């Protein structure tokens, strides 16, 4: 057996390769493909996104039927790039017309508001602590859960998920 010098680190992908089940590895590879989709289909990437793998086909969401036709023409080349770059067993692409949401738009929705983080009042936090304390012995965990419950109540109005509370905008 050949040994590597002790001063060289192994790539993370090599370490994780044997530790992850195949579906998880496939999901991670598909996520990476989504991030680098422009490398595969060029300018069509702005109006399409990889969705999932079914058998040996990559299902791609596209904005329009015309774009689906253009992607079909590039299917063989794109599949080759995916096999070579990500090792996914893809022989072709199938385009499905639907809404294409970009990763950037999703991330903007998650960012905090310009006014800063959500501020919780002391009385809200104390009420949440009183509710959590009898159920959790560890003080750090209890405190963290109380903060989470207080934020949940402030954000979604009222009770906790167990109380069957509904979102204030829903009827």
| 170 domain-assigned | no
For all residues of the chain together, what is the average pLDDT?
A: 78
Could you tell me where the DSSP H helices lie in 3-102?
12-17, 22-35, 37-41, 65-73, 75-86
Number of other CB atoms surrounding residue 98 within 10 Å: 13
* Same domain, residue pair 33 and 65: yes
* Same domain, residue pair 100 and 150: no
Counted residue by residue, the chain has a size of 171
160: pLDDT confidence band, cut at 50, 70 and 90? very low
CATH of residue 31: 3.30.300.180
Model-level pTM greater than 0.85? no
The residue segments making up the domain with residue 142 are: 122-161
| 76 domain-assigned | yes
pLDDT tens per residue, range 49-80: 999 999 999 999 999 999 999 999 999 999 99
Q: What is the mean pLDDT of residues 114-127?
A: 78
Domain tally, the chain: 2
* Same domain, residue pair 98 and 126: no
| 168 domain-assigned | no
- pLDDT at position 21 is 76
Question: What are the beta bridge partners of residue 48?
Answer: 62
d(CA 138, CA 13): 36
Q: What is the mean pLDDT of residues 142-150?
A: 84
pLDDT tens per residue, range 83-105: 998 888 899 999 999 998 754 45
> What percentage of the chain exceeds 90 in pLDDT?
35
- pLDDT at position 6 is 55
| 11 domain-assigned | no
* Same domain, residue pair 27 and 92: yes
């Amino acid at each position: 057996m050949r040994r590597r010098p002790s001063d060289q680190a192994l790539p993370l992908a090599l370490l994780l390769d044997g530790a992850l089940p195949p579906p998880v590895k496939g999901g991670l590879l598909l996520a990476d493909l989504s991030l680098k989709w422009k490398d595969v289909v060029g300018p069509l990437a702005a109006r399409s996104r990889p969705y999932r793998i079914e058998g040996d086909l990559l299902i791609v969401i596209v904005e329009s039927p015309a774009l689906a036709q253009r992607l079909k023409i590039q299917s063989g080349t794109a599949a080759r790039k995916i096999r070579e770059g990500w090792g996914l067993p893809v022989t072709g692409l199938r385009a499905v017309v639907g809404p294409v949401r970009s990763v950037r738009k999703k991330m903007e929705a998650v960012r905090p508001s310009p006014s800063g983080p959500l501020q919780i009042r002391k009385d809200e936090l104390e009420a949440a602590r009183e509710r959590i304390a009898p159920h959790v012995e560890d003080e750090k965990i209890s405190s963290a859960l109380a903060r989470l419950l207080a934020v949940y109540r402030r954000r979604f109005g009222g009770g906790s998920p167990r109380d069957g509370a509904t979102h204030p905008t829903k009827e």
